[in-house]
């Protein structure tokens, strides 16, 4: 799969998000990168996505004038899973939802306990 096809899959996943989710994403950008920085891979495992920024519940009245939060979706680790397109789209959706959950302040333990680890 070429980069443009992967990017299109991510775009379709984002388009399929409920309107309330898209509307709640304030000062957040989605970036598609080939791979995470090697320093992020402490255990050598493939990282599929990453949220960086200030989660919504931690934003106070003084929040403003800051650069956007970023949700990174990593192309090569997803493609390395060797999934057919429908399954790859499901995995991308799972990654996007996982990272959006972090934006909403949901931690990894809660996500893991609910099947989104």
Q: What angle do CA 107, 62, 110 make, to 5 degrees?
A: 5
pLDDT band at 92 (very low <50, low <70, confident <90, very high): very high
Q: In which element (H, E) is residue 101 found?
A: helix 85-103
User: Does residue 13 carry a pLDDT above 50?
Assistant: yes
Number of structural domains found in the chain: 1
Mean pLDDT of 21-34: 92
pLDDT at residue number 43: 56
Residue 40 near residue 25, CB atoms below 8 Å: no
Give phi and psi for 47, each to the nearest 5. Answer: -95, 125
CATH number of the domain that 109 lies in? 3.30.2010.20
User: Does residue 107 carry a pLDDT above 90?
Assistant: no
pTM of the model: 0.87
pLDDT in tens, 36-69: 887 766 654 678 999 999 888 888 888 888 899 9
Domain that residue 53 falls in: 3-113
Residue 92 near residue 51, CB atoms below 8 Å: no
């Amino acid at each position: 799969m070429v980069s443009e096809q992967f990017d299109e899959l991510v775009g379709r996943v984002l388009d399929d998000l409920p309107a309330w989710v898209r509307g709640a994403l304030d000062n957040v950008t989605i970036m598609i990168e080939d791979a995470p920085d090697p320093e992020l891979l402490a255990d050598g495992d493939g990282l599929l996505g990453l949220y960086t920024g200030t989660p919504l519940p931690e934003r106070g009245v003084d929040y403003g004038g800051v650069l956007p939060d970023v949700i990174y979706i990593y192309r090569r680790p997803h493609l390395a899973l060797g999934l057919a397109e429908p399954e790859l789209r499901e995995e991308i959706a799972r990654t996007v939802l996982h990272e959006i959950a972090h934006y909403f302040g949901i931690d990894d333990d809660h996500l893991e306990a609910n099947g989104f680890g």
